[in-house]
Chains A and B, each alone.
Chain A
């Protein structure tokens, strides 16, 4: 007892750890565990049948493909957006900065309805794109747009502080030593923001994978084409098939976990690599 008390320099470990564990259990661990327990009560063969059904497999595919594309788009544009907001001064900069958070605050269904209205072939943007032969609403492109919308703040907000804290001396030094702009970006700036970018990418991806509210409105929900996995979960629930819904949810959870795990591993690898 005495020894361990000496170890902790900062007071309040006991109570803060207690609060952490309680909240984590109530909000994350117990619900997740109930998902597993619920699914395990349905028997492996039924579970397997449910999660490998042709239509369900198509659902994962659509969800993963669109979420990945959206996360890549977010990563690219997120960096540019963060760059503009940190490095340049221009009128209404604060206003623009505030807008980034809007997708967090807006109920996703509202976003979905607004985007659909805009991008359907009778909508303002969709009409224009339709003349170029591009159909956005009710296609996978529509799904990706909705996912980009809800994911962009994750990337911008994780990169912004890193860019703000960056010491410009290194860039200046590189410039003096004759490095070109591209080289400065890829050798000096990019390695600095890479950990934040990976985190942002992972968050945006995980969020897009689970997104339901905005996507259902713009997706068209056609089986095998634009039907996302979360919609299949809702469909099962609507049939009062709690086990089936649980099974698909569990697979989605596994996907999300694997993705976040891979990203964290990559992060650790890079950290070691750069420190050596």
Chain B
């Protein structure tokens, strides 16, 4: 009886395995058959770049066809930055990643998929475009919010995502921190006190940046949304006349970096096209597409063309400033368990 069971189990397992490998084999064949003529690459990105890459991929395909006479299709994937990084680590075959934080790309590097030194592989710390954190307020700015210190006043409702689960929210947090550091002359206790007050005014901590936008825009919660500049402009475009953008006195230079996933491109033989894909982001065409989608072009001359859109005079702290000391340090000091963000919500001040 037992032996018979075992035999049956063996047969079933073999059949299943055969079925699975059979399918896989067929899929591989299809891909090879096409590869001779056209080429396909996958760009794993984060949420707010959807519109940007939609436009860019069309332009890049044109450029690549002209240059090499080869058809290229770019498959896009969007989601929360951390989630996307994890999917790449766990085997999602991305040729290039274009994420919200260097921290997420470093995680892929640590998993052995990206070679060290990716951050200097392309210009401007491998960030072809930058962004910053601004305030999106309701029309007429009824609460008269002009800078960070207005946000801690009583009765102001803030919407920002949770820095524990959202890459974008970490920029928000650090932008506020940069303000407090300047305002209180590096006094840790006072900075923490300010941050505590700020987060006490937060009504909803969504899990991602798009969720926070929905809460503010669709569900009408809060007086101010701390948002990526490009997200704020998209909301303005979608609901003309209902919102205003306020640029605070100081914010942070968000540099969403790009990188080639070395192990994947070597495996698939797509290094050349993947490199061209990221390099072309720095071309005048690529830079203008970034600007048109409300990302700040890293090329100064092109950025000048958009000076009516962006406040180029805005004082911007950077993650590599002494204050934060790069992503690894900032992540450990502020967002890992026991960091400053956890201390803000230590439980005693709640309920």
Choice from A50, A216, A223, A240 contacting B345 with Cβ under 8 Å: A223
Residues of B250-302 at the interface with A, using a CB-CB cut-off of 8 Å, are none
* B207 A216 Cβ-Cβ under 8 A: yes
Given A116-B219, A138-B221, A241-B337, A58 contacting B165 (CB threshold 8 A): no
Q: B residues 198-253 with Cβ under 8 Å of A?
A: 202-207, 211, 214-215, 218-221
- A225 CB-CB contact with B under 8 Å: yes
Residues of A contacting B12 with CB < 8 Å? 15, 18-19, 22
**CB atoms of B11 and A239 under 8 A apart:** no
Report Cα–Cα, A123/B331, bound state, in Å.
Answer: 37
Q: How far is the CA of A235 from the CA of B163 in the complex (A)?
A: 9
Q: Does B26 contact A (CB under 8 A)?
A: no
CB contact between B219 and one of A15, A21, A117, A237 (< 8 Å): that residue:
A117
Q: Please indicate which of the listed interface residues A123, A217, A223 has the most CB atoms of chain B within 10 Å of its own CB.
A: A223
B351 close to A (CB within 8 Å): yes
A231 to chain B, nearest CB (A): 7
B128 within 8 A of A: no
Q: Is A1 an interface residue (CB 8 A)?
A: yes
Interface string of A205-245 (1 = CB under 8 A from B): 00000000000110011111100000100110111110010
Query: Which residues on B sit within 8 Å (CB–CB) of A167?
Result: none
Q: Do the beta carbons of B350 and A237 come within 8 Å of each other?
A: no
A120 contacts which of B13, B86, B221, B337 (Cβ < 8 Å)? B221
- CB proximity of B171 to chain A, nearest CB, Å: 14
What A residues does B8 contact at CB under 8 A?
14-15, 17-18
Residues of B within 8 A of A14 (CB): 4-5, 7-8
Q: How far is the CB of B200 from chain A (nearest CB, A)?
A: 10
> Cβ of A113 < 8 Å from any Cβ of B?
yes
Query: How many residues of chain B get a CB closer than 8 Å to chain A's CBs?
Result: 43
Q: Which residue from chain B places its CB closest to the CB of A17 in the assembled complex?
A: B5
Min C-beta distance of A124 to chain B, whole Å: 12
Chain B 13-69 residues near chain A, CB threshold 8 A: 13, 16
Q: Smallest CB–CB gap between B261 and chain A, Å?
A: 17
> B5 to A220, Cβ gap below 8 A?
no
Contact of B164 among A4, A22, A235 (CB under 8 A): A235
**B351 interface neighbour in A4, A225, A234, Cβ under 8 Å:** A225
Bound Cα distance A103, B180 (Å) = 46
Given A235-B162, A237-B86: A54 and B5 within 8 A (CB)?
Answer: no
Picked from B215, B335, B351, the residue with its CB within 8 Å of the CB of A239 is: B335
CB distance from B311 to the nearest CB of A (A): 30
- Contacts A22-B13, A223-B345 given: A234-B221 contact, CB under 8 Å? no
What is the size category of the interface that chain A forms with chain B? 35 or more
What's the minimum C-beta distance from A9 to chain B, rounded to whole angstroms? 15
Residues from chain B with a CB closer than 8 A to the CB of A238 are: 80, 82-83, 164-166
Report the minimum CB–CB distance from B108 to chain A (whole Å).
Answer: 10
Q: Are B347 and A240 in contact (CB under 8 A)?
A: no
A165 at the interface (CB under 8 A from B): no
CB distance from B112 to the nearest CB of A (A): 14
When chains A and B are docked, how far (Å) is the Cα of A4 from the Cα of B5?
Answer: 12
Instruction: For residue B323, give the distance in angstroms from its CB to the closest CB of chain A.
Output: 21
B242 to chain A, nearest CB (A): 13
Contact pattern, A 112-156, Cβ under 8 Å of B = 1, otherwise 0: 010011001111000000000000011000000000000000000
A55 interfacial by beta-carbon distance below 8 Å = yes
B residues within 8 A CB of A239?
Answer: 82, 164, 331, 335-337
CB <8 Å contact, A234 and B86: no
A89 within 8 A of B: no
- Contact B165 A231, beta carbon cutoff 8 Å: yes
A4 touches B1 (CB 8 A): yes
Which residue in chain B gives the minimum CB-CB distance to A58? B347
- Taking a contact as CB atoms under 8 Å apart, the answer to whether B219 and A225 are in contact is no
C-alpha gap A220/B221 in the complex (Å): 11
**In the complex, chain A residues whose CB is within 8 Å of the CB of B205:** 220-223
In the bound complex, CA of A121 to CA of B333 (Å): 36
| Any A CB within 8 A of the CB of B314 | no
For A224, the closest partner residue in chain B by CB is B350
* Residue of B7, B107, B215, B351 most packed against chain A (CB within 10 A): B215
Residues of A within 8 A of B215 (CB): 116
Q: Residues 325-343 of chain B: 1 if any A CB is under 8 Å from the residue's CB, otherwise 0?
A: 0000001000111000010
> If A4-B1, A14-B8, A235-B164 touch, does A240 touch B220 (CB 8 Å cutoff)?
no
Pick from B8, B162, B215, B219 the residue with the most CB of A within 10 Å.
B219
Contacts of B336 in A (CB 8 A): 239, 241
Nearest neighbor of A116 in chain B, beta-carbon distance: B219
What is the distance, in angstroms, from B22's C-beta to the closest C-beta of chain A?
17
3 tightest CB-CB pairs across the interface, nearest first? Answer: A18-B8, A122-B220, A235-B164
| Chain B residues within 8 Å of A, Cβ to Cβ | 1, 4-5, 7-9, 11-13, 16, 80, 82-83, 85-86, 107, 162, 164-166, 202-207, 211, 214-215, 218-221, 331, 335-337, 342, 345-347, 350-351
Q: A138-B221, A240-B85 are in contact. List 20 more A-B contacts (CB 8 A).
A: A14-B5, A17-B5, A18-B9, A19-B12, A21-B5, A54-B346, A54-B347, A113-B214, A117-B218, A120-B221, A122-B220, A122-B221, A217-B214, A220-B204, A235-B164, A238-B82, A239-B335, A239-B336, A239-B337, A241-B337
A-B contact pairs, 6 of them (CB 8 A): A22-B13, A122-B221, A216-B206, A239-B335, A239-B337, A240-B107
